[in-house]
Chains A and B, each alone.
Chain A
């Protein structure tokens, strides 16, 4: 089985199948990335398409400086940032009043608890925590993506987890 980095290099050489393989591997993770960060599912779907189209358009400029995964999530992160800036400029932005996700699958209560707890975190800490837990990026990949030193990533991730624990599992008062 080819690695992501091999696949993207094959795609650069013109292999259509390589791109299809990449797409199949990352379509759900990338959709999940946008879905957890945006309230509008339709917009998440559009941005997922845009993300892969951006990869398609810019593949000739791709250089294997870091892992392909961090490159792809870098595109997605930039698109989310642009989307948030655009939403903040819009006068009518009913869909974007709160960037929390909309109705989701699974246990709705459990999801709501986690979502509320995440919303209370610092923006930067939350992003690091979500990249680690949901996108499964390494500290180094997160550091490259957010342009932070690895030690900073580790310390902020620790801080985010402790804060989330206090939200989800408050310490019971012995009295």
Chain B
């Protein structure tokens, strides 16, 4: 391994899925799988020629990825239990949801020690072009702690684009960031005997359409469960039914069809 940033990255083996199923790591990283379920699993990489053998509940398995590439894997015992490890010389992290046009977006890059100049590149449809140079003190660092393997950059998002980080040794994974002109949506959980999700839009947008979505396994994704119009204070409240309190939730701002998502809140974990 070339630098100080080599790490061990964790993946949980659930009863029928790897979590996270898609993972981006840096060349030389170790991936550590832990079986947190009550079932026996294994890990089979056809491309790498690696098989973990049986991994019993509470046991684990490790594998180091020394060569960049995209490596799909699966459990041979449980049909449909699949994952992908993407191995890159740099790992780019950034927002996982839409951003408002003009927002300063913070990017964080895991880079090998001595990587030299790390550039942030954006492609808005006509190829990648450098939009920033990342540095150790670019103002976008993780709050509260220094990580010698990380460099940072802030980029003002003016249009939807695909981003990557590059240096002399290659390029990172790609991040797609959609830019929206819609207001920001803030959702917060009101706990207590009658839990609810409180919603606000900024700037104030009375009358805007918002939909409460839950991430439900049986619905294979985000599922709309309630809709509302923001009141004159640009707020709305969704009461939660008893069976709606143990799953990830978010609020999306939608267009006149009540379906086209213009912006979304962060994901709330409703479990107490």
Judge: A and B partners, yes or no.
no
